[in-house]
Amino acid sequence: MAKIPSEFISLSETCPNIIIQSDYSTVKNFTGEIVRGYKKTAAYMAKAPAKALGEVQKVALSRGYNLKIFDGYRPVKAVEFFQEWAKRPETNPEIKAHYYPTFSRLDLFEQGFIAKQSSHSRGAAVDLTLVDLKTGKELDMGSHFDFFDERSNTDSKSITEEQKKNRMLLKELMEGKGFKNFSQEWWHYSFKPEPHPDQAFNFDVE
């Protein structure tokens, strides 16, 4: 069992049967590398938001959906890794085309898609989507996780009505339990008020 600060808890404990897809613990992410600080597929949050997310899951399950988590707590060392990556030359056009086709690496920070100081590191933020219990498939949100483009803006005009409806369903579920959406990314939610607004953490996800 991983040693984590007493202020944190695994989402597997507060959200039974939740789906965790930790792309940052693999090379299948926008950097093309295993992200520093991610040792395995796991997700943690500070206790208050983790428990609130458990309440979101209960409501979602009652309506025929499960939650899929892409990222919860994010170590400071991972945020630093992203900043180092952004300063390196572009080396993989396929990855760029898949994740950030219209921006440079540094643009991702300047445009606000990646934060230099992240609420993820304070244990208050989560990146997630909804999965249909009947089909086992993610709802069509109009873009994939970490697709850095206008189409990922929650209120994007470049998506279909069905995709907008799915985004609004996720937003309704999350905001009903104290989370606030980051308007540039349909998948990103932060719990308010943050339990540790002035403290960033740096333990590994393991």
- Domain boundaries defined on the chain: 27-191
Question: Catalytic residue at 185?
Answer: yes
Annotation: binding site: 120, 127, 188
Q: Which CATH number fits domain 27-191: 3.30.430.20, 3.40.980.10, 3.30.1380.10, 1.10.287.3510?
A: 3.30.1380.10
Separation CA 95–CA 146 (nearest Å) = 11
Tens of pLDDT along the chain (206 residues) come to: 468 999 999 999 999 999 999 999 999 999 999 999 999 999 999 999 999 999 999 999 999 999 999 999 999 999 999 999 999 999 999 999 999 999 999 999 999 899 888 999 999 999 999 999 999 999 999 999 999 999 999 999 999 999 999 999 999 999 999 999 999 999 999 999 999 999 999 999 99
Say what the pTM is: 0.96
- Which is the catalytic residue, given 13, 84, 185, 206? 185
Annotation: binding site for Zn(2+): 120, 127, 188
- As given in the structure block, the two tokens for residue 149 are 């483009």
Separation CA 108–CA 194 (nearest Å) = 24
